[in-house]
Structure 1
Amino acid sequence: MKDQDCAELLQWIAPRLRLRPEGFRRVRGQVCKRIGRRLVALGLTSVSAYRTRLESDPEEWAVLDALCRVTVSRFYRDARVFEVLHEELLPPLLESSPVLRVWSAGCASGEEPYTVSILFRLGLAPRYPEAGLELIATEVDAGLLERARRGCYPRGSLRELPPAWVERAFPGPGEEPCLAPGYREGLVFRREDLRTHMPQGPFQLVLCRNVAFTYFAPPLQREVLAGLVERLAPGGLLVIGAEESLPEGGVALERVAGPLPIFRVPRVPATTGG
């Protein structure tokens, strides 16, 4: 499939999937290769034939939607974000709540929620031994969820984790060690589409990185943002991707870590009687 043909197809499908064409900028080559292989599998020889197929087969849209999702995930991705959470932002939350409730939205193959679990158990629990962790991780791709539940990863994906944490959390030998059972406690993986369903809050921390605010069209971004904020406790934290920004006209949040993409839901000021 020619690049121009694919570019035109992406422009055509994006609004129908409530996506933004600009979101494909970095991954367009991968998406186009996937769509090209899909055309071959269907025995189609042109993009126009595929468009005709889409217009007559609603189920093909779900297949195409999955082809458009390119995930890049690793442990401790954007390390400075996790360092600031660990050192500055999560301790006050643990001082005011016995349980840290976290939602990892679009968790891919599990690296992000497991990073939070490792950080909590090795970085925070020693200081707050009475604190607990409840973590919900959601992902629409069943194959990625299966990998997440398996919890075994190539060592290359662990390279940004502090070495001492790797030794404790991944004690097994080999080039694809599995996460130790203790770090899976309190974690629940669910197959959910962020565009249509969200778990019940409140959460003290929500991570929604490199999904909604990269690929979704602005109106959908605002809908998703409103849903995320609705599920955050007062003073709760929202983390988005390092190269993402919140949509204009969305819910107002305060930035709490300089240039890092970490935002806080403002606490409602206490009222005084007259």
Structure 2
Amino acid sequence: MAPNIIPDNLISRLSELVNTKMGLHFPENRWKDLRRNMTGVAQDIARIHKIENNPVICIEWLLTTPLTKAHLDILAKHLTIGETYFFRDKSLFQALRQNIFPELIRLRQKKKCIRIWSAGCSSGEEPYSLAILVDQMIPAHGKDWKVAILATDINATCLEKAEKGVYTKWSFRNTPAWTKEKYFKKRDEKYFEISPALKKMVRFSQLNLVENTYPSEFSHIRDMDIIFCRNVLMYFKPEVREEIIERFFQSLTDRGLLIFSPSESPCVRHSGLCPLYLPGTTFYRKIEAESNVKPEPDPDPNPNPNPNPEPEPVKPVKPDSQPPYLKALTLANIGRLEEAETFCRQAIQQEKLRSEHHYLLATIYHEQNRLRESVKSLTHTIYLDPEFVMAYFLLGNLRQKQGRLTEADKHFRNTRSLLLDMKAEDILPHSEGMAAGNLLKMVQSMISKMA
């Protein structure tokens, strides 16, 4: 066995350690992710403690050393990797703009106070998106309204980036150009900084959701009008998820709203939370504490007194339903490729212009060695999103495998061009947590070998 191959017994002990110390759940079917991410952990630990840069040695060191906050921060940096960008999930932000925020503004008209919590905020794109939306809907909030947006994450590296508020154009994919022009200052050709006014609206803080430290007066985690926690529950065991949802419930004000990602909705089983279905997304409303009867129907979804057009009618959906794309992604991850292909085709049929749907289909074809079909889907992906880094990279690999080296070189060079516009620490979407800097080194090596 090679010295840096992590044996099962060691990765099992590491999984238990991470679960005990951090609450993060890495069952056996996710050991592959844990093994891959330990390369970065080993590099950081080796640099700080002057030990050999080797994942096996690093794990043995972690298992026999009292772990400090600095050690846990390194683990969090590499084991909790978020993929995010501004105004991610158009359905959600449309529902917030048309239904949720108008009602909330009406209800808070006297107090003029709104409290929002982004739990698992990653590098800050979500809370800043919420700040932009608030600014659009309450332009005079600085004078008359008190809007507090709390943003927390376990990953200290992500929080450091979020507090700086500096982003590359990759964070603005699928974001209207006027958003960047109005709310960001261009620092140079690569970087854009969020406006000081919006920075002041968001307070960042490190928090591990498994810890029983909230709700709390001290941390101001209480009486929240809306809590966002998307793509976070998947890191925890079912029993831990229930504890976190209970603490979220206690942290909400009466009739406050809780929002998860669509794939996490089946995890929500709380008698005090009533689902509210809006097109493309599901919210969970806290039932008023003194009410022992069925919750009253939700108010007019467009209570804004302005003569705006009526929003789309609410279409009920099953609480445990999962979008075809997420079903396809889940099935592909466990190797059930034929079923994954079926659901991925359904997702494309529903949303033909979503580049990530076509990319997933391309990866399924690739795993099945259906290279011609994979190339076709990747070409479609790039047509829909000319800045889809991983699509160029996979296309280069496929062309190289087919012996079409000139085309492979072109796609690798396109990949390099996009990566040069990103920060080295930026996490690439649809890459299973790979940083831009790591892929850039790999691509440059491949280009050199082909020269």
Global fold match (TM > 0.5): yes
Cα distance in structure 1, aligned partners of 2:251 and 2:78: 29
The 8 Å contact of residues 20 and 218 in structure 1, kept in 2 or not, is answered as no
Cα distance in structure 2, aligned partners of 1:25 and 1:125: 46
The 8 Å contact of residues 94 and 131 in structure 1, kept in 2 or not, is answered as no
- Aligned amino acid, residue 52 of structure 2: G
- Aligned amino acid, residue 43 of structure 1: E
Aligned to 1:215: 235
Cα distance in structure 2, aligned partners of 1:93 and 1:253: 18
CA gap 1:13/1:246 in 2 versus in 1, 3 angstroms: farther
Pairs within 5 Å for 1:19-38: 19-21=24-26, 24=30, 27-28=33-34, 30-35=36-41, 37=43
Determine which of 38, 62, 69 is the counterpart of 1:54. 62
Aligned to 2:153: 139
Determine which of 126, 149, 164 is the counterpart of 1:150. 164
> Identity over the aligned pairs, expressed in percent?
23
Render the CA deviation track for 1:90-134: whole Å, top value 9, x for unaligned. 211111111111111121221111010001102x11498944311
Aligned to 2:333: none
- Aligned amino acid, residue 174 of structure 2: E
Cα distance in structure 2, aligned partners of 1:148 and 1:46: 29
- Following superposition, the deviation at residue 27 of structure 1 comes to 5.0
Point out the more displaced range, 248-257 or 150-159.
Answer: 248-257
Determine which of 178, 181, 201 is the counterpart of 2:196. 181
Render the CA deviation track for 1:157-192: whole Å, top value 9, x for unaligned. 112333322221114363211111222233212222
2:138 aligned with 1:125? yes
- Following superposition, the deviation at residue 237 of structure 1 comes to 1.1
Render the CA deviation track for 1:244-270: whole Å, top value 9, x for unaligned. 235365454222134524221123466
Determine which of 34, 39, 43 is the counterpart of 2:52. 43
Q: TM-score, normalised by structure 1?
A: 0.82
Cα distance in structure 1, aligned partners of 2:101 and 2:7: 47
Name the SS of the counterpart of 1:221 in structure 2: helix
Point out the more displaced range, 242-251 or 87-96.
Answer: 242-251
Aligned to 1:202: 223
The 8 Å contact of residues 31 and 70 in structure 1, kept in 2 or not, is answered as no
Kindly report the root-mean-square deviation, in angstroms, between the aligned alpha carbons of the 2 structures: 3.2
Cα distance in structure 2, aligned partners of 1:29 and 1:21: 10
Aligned to 1:256: 276
Aligned to 1:190: 205
> Which structure would you say has the larger Rg?
2
CA gap 1:90/1:127 in 2 versus in 1, 3 angstroms: farther
2:129 aligned with 1:115? yes
CA gap 1:31/1:244 in 2 versus in 1, 3 angstroms: farther
The 8 Å contact of residues 6 and 55 in structure 2, kept in 1 or not, is answered as no
Cα distance in structure 1, aligned partners of 2:145 and 2:30: 41
Cα distance in structure 2, aligned partners of 1:267 and 1:58: 45
Name the SS of the counterpart of 1:59 in structure 2: coil
2:93 aligned with 1:94? no
Q: Work out which structure has the larger RCO, using CA pairs closer than 8 Å and 6 or more positions apart in sequence.
A: 1
The 8 Å contact of residues 87 and 129 in structure 2, kept in 1 or not, is answered as yes
- Aligned amino acid, residue 228 of structure 1: F
Render the CA deviation track for 1:3-47: whole Å, top value 9, x for unaligned. 764864665445434332259489557524324546866327573
CA gap 1:127/1:79 in 2 versus in 1, 3 angstroms: farther
- Aligned amino acid, residue 255 of structure 1: P
Name the SS of the counterpart of 1:153 in structure 2: strand
Aligned to 2:173: 159
